[in-house]
């Protein structure tokens, strides 16, 4: 092969490498601020009052960890509610959908990842942590909640950003979740790792800033877990309160293996193509 052709291949490979590097690091939605990806929920859609209000979700990725933060009026241990079977209504579980399916379809296929972060909630798995091969379930009936997402909207909560800025309308929410039962806890799954709860100080040190969006709730919950527990790619993350009184969604992208960049990336491509040329000769 002529040197000119080799140079052409190198240029093409370098351009492709740069394209992968750029597109693989950009989130699909959300708002990036100081390395955190934010989804901001409507501030007045917590049916039942401030104790069931979600204001926002934020996710940050580092080379080895994923950080998650939630803010609103619901504490980690929940809110007293006389109508709930256990007299308490709290956070449901957090789900990550890395498929191109709707939430219910991914749940039916047991393709979700789930995180139980509230130890006192009604999740159907035994301990907090990260789970894979997850099928979601609904606990709204035992928490004096809504029988369906349609009932929630028809009760007067059809507002902009009711599921957050990434599913801004009722139509968007129905397209992803469907109009039926609000699936808000892990029904089944396989535990693959633990989470570490984070203090407000630790979250602030990590750069979290809900105040930037005027979305600081009276309660902010945060945790961290190993990035190696997840697969990379586009995701939709969401959580609901146990009664279905509020929910929030965030779209984003998790990088897989860090892409080579600059000279190091060109060197890798050069080694691969050089090896192929030697074999041809």
Closest CA to 151 of 175, 181, 173: 181
193 shares a domain with 121: yes
Scan for tokens 């490498």, then name that residue: 17
104 shares a domain with 20: no
What's the confidence (pLDDT) of residue 45?
73
Per-residue pLDDT of the chain (281 residues; tens, 9 = 90+): 444 444 444 444 444 333 333 333 333 578 999 999 999 998 877 777 778 889 999 999 999 999 999 999 999 999 999 999 999 999 999 999 999 999 999 999 999 999 999 999 999 999 999 999 999 999 999 999 999 999 999 998 887 788 999 999 999 999 999 999 999 999 999 999 999 999 999 999 999 999 999 999 999 999 999 999 998 899 999 999 999 999 999 999 998 644 444 444 444 444 444 454 444 44
The whole domain housing 276 covers 1-24+259-281
Counted domains in the chain: 2
139 shares a domain with 264: no
191 shares a domain with 85: yes
CB 25 within 8 A of CB 32: no
136 shares a domain with 19: no
201 shares a domain with 149: yes
1 shares a domain with 110: no
What's the confidence (pLDDT) of residue 272?
46
What's the confidence (pLDDT) of residue 176?
98
What's the confidence (pLDDT) of residue 48?
78
Closest CA to 138 of 240, 277, 68: 240
| CA 234 – CA 29 distance, rounded (Å) | 10
Please state the three-class secondary structure of the chain as a single string: CCHHHHHHHHHHHHHHHHHHHHHCCCCCCCEEECCEEEEECCCCCCCCCHHHCEEEEEEEECCCEEEEEEEECCCCCCEECCCCCCCEECEEEEEEECCCCCHHHHHHCCCEEEEECCCCCCCCCCCCEEEEEEEEECCCHHHCCCCCHHHHHHHHHCCCCCCCCCCCCHHHHHHHHCCCCCCCEEEEEEEEECCEEECHHHHHHCCCCHHHHCCCCCEEEEEEEEHHHCCCEEEEEEEEECCCCCEEEEEEEECCCCCCCHHHHHHHHHHHHHHHHHHHC
Chain-centroid distance, C-alpha 8 = 41
181 shares a domain with 205: yes
213 shares a domain with 128: yes
Residue 227 tokens, joined? 């990035």
121 shares a domain with 162: yes
Q: What is the reported pTM?
A: 0.82
What's the confidence (pLDDT) of residue 256?
65
132 shares a domain with 268: no
239 shares a domain with 125: yes
Pairing of strands 185-193, 129-137: antiparallel
């Amino acid at each position: 092969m002529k040197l000119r052709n080799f140079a052409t291949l190198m240029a093409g490979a370098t351009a492709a490498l740069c394209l992968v590097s750029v597109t693989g690091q950009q989130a699909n939605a959300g708002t990036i601020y100081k390395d955190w990806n934010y989804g901001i929920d409507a501030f007045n859609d917590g049916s039942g009052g401030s104790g069931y209000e979600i204001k926002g979700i934020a996710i940050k990725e580092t080379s080895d960890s994923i950080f998650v933060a939630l803010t609103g009026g619901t504490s980690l241990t929940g809110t007293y509610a006389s109508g709930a079977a256990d007299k308490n209504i709290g956070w449901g579980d957090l789900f990550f959908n890395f498929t191109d399916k709707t939430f219910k379809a991914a749940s039916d296929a047991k393709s979700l990842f789930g995180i139980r972060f509230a130890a006192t909630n009604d999740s159907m798995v035994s301990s907090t942590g990260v789970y894979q091969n997850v099928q979601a379930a609904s606990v709204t009936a035992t928490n004096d909640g809504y029988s369906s997402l349609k009932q929630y909207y028809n009760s007067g909560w059809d507002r902009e950003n009711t599921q957050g800025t990434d599913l801004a309308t009722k139509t968007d929410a129905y397209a992803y979740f469907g109009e039926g039962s609000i699936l808000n806890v892990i029904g089944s799954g396989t535990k693959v790792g633990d989470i570490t709860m984070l203090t407000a100080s630790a979250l602030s040190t990590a750069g979290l800033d809900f105040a930037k969006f005027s979305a600081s709730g009276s309660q902010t919950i945060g945790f961290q877990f190993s990035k190696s527990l997840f697969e990379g790619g586009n995701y939709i993350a969401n959580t609901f309160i146990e009664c279905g009184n509020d929910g929030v969604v965030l779209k984003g992208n998790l990088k897989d293996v860090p892409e080579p960049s600059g000279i190091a990336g060109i060197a890798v491509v050069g080694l691969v193509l050089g090896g192929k040329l030697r074999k041809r000769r």
